[in-house]
Amino acid sequence: MPEEKQNEPAVDNIPPAPLTLEGSFILHQMFRLRWSAWKAATSVEQKQVIEEAGVLLGEMERGSEEQSALFSLVGHKGDLMVLHFRRTVEALNDAELCLANLRLAEFLEMTTSYLSVVELGLYEASVRLFAALKGKGIQPGAPDWVQAVEAEMDKQRKAAAARLWPQIPPRRYVCFYPMSKLRGEEKNWYLAPITDRQRMMRGHGELGRRYAGQVTQIISGSIGFDDWEWGVDLFADDPLVFKKVVTEMRFDEASAAYGQFGAFYVGLRFPATKLGTLLEGRTPTMS
C-alpha cells in the first residue's frame, strides 16, 4: 500500500459535509411590467405611483446594513429585478410586503423569485480540523469535537465578517443564476469523498480569483430554501466579463463534471430616482 504523505493526517471516516458560514439573507424578485395597464393610467396616477415607490425604494437602497437595489432586466424573463439583502428572513418578508402594498404593484406581475443566504464554504478548514480531531481519537459529536468546531467557526466568522454581511456592489451590471451539484447515476457530488470535493473547490476558487477586480461574486446557499442549491450573483462594470468567467468555469472539474445551471438573469442597475425613466420605456442610467 502507498505510504501516506508525511505530515498529512489521515482523512478516512471524517464527516462528509463541510462547515459553512452564513450571513445576509437574500431575496431576488423578478417582475414583468404590465405595460398596457400602465399606459392606460392617467399622467396624474403615474406621477403618484412613481413618487410613492421612489420614496420607499430610495429608503431601501440607502440602507447601510440592510439594502435593496433595482435592476432593469434584459430579455423576456422580466423587466425589473429587485434585490434585497437583509439580516433576517423576517426583514426580507417585510421588504416583500412593503413592495406588494405599493400602488406600483398594481402594474407589476411577479415572474419568479429566489430565496437564499450568503454562504462561505469552509472545505479547507473543515478537512484540516476534522482530520486533526480524528487523529487525536476524538469522535464526531463528542463534547471535545463540538467545542473545537465552535471555536473554529467563531474564528472563521470574525475573519470573514465583511464577506458575510456585504453591501450590494455598486456596479452597473448584474448576472444572477441558480445552480446545483449533480446527483446522477454515474456522477454524484454528494457521494464524492470530502477530500476530492475540497480539491475541486480549491481549483474552482483559484480560477475565480483570477477575475478579482473585474467581477464581484456573492455566493448564497439555498438548500432547504428554494428549488436549487446555490444562487450566484456576479457584479461587473463590463457585461462581457460574465461570459468569460462563466465559460472558463465550465471547463473546471467542479462544474464540468458536477455543475447544473438554472436560468440566467442579466440586468442594469439604476437608482430609485430613475424609476420613472424605466416606466417611460427608456433605459435608466446609474446616476
Question: Which residues are catalytically annotated?
Answer: 177
Alpha carbons 54 and 48: distance in angstroms, whole number: 10
**Three cell numbers, residue 233:** 450573483
Residue 150 CB burial class (10 angstroms; 0-12, 13-18, ≥19): exposed
Residue type, 199: R
Contact between residue 177 and residue 232 where contact means Cβ atoms under 8 Å apart: yes
Tell me how far the alpha carbon of residue 68 is from its chain's centroid. 14
Q: Which helix (H) or strand (E) holds 232?
A: strand 230-236
Q: Which residue has the cell 465583511?
A: 162
Q: Answer whether 176's CB lies under 8 Å from 239's CB.
A: no
Name residue 175's beta-bridge partners: 234, 266
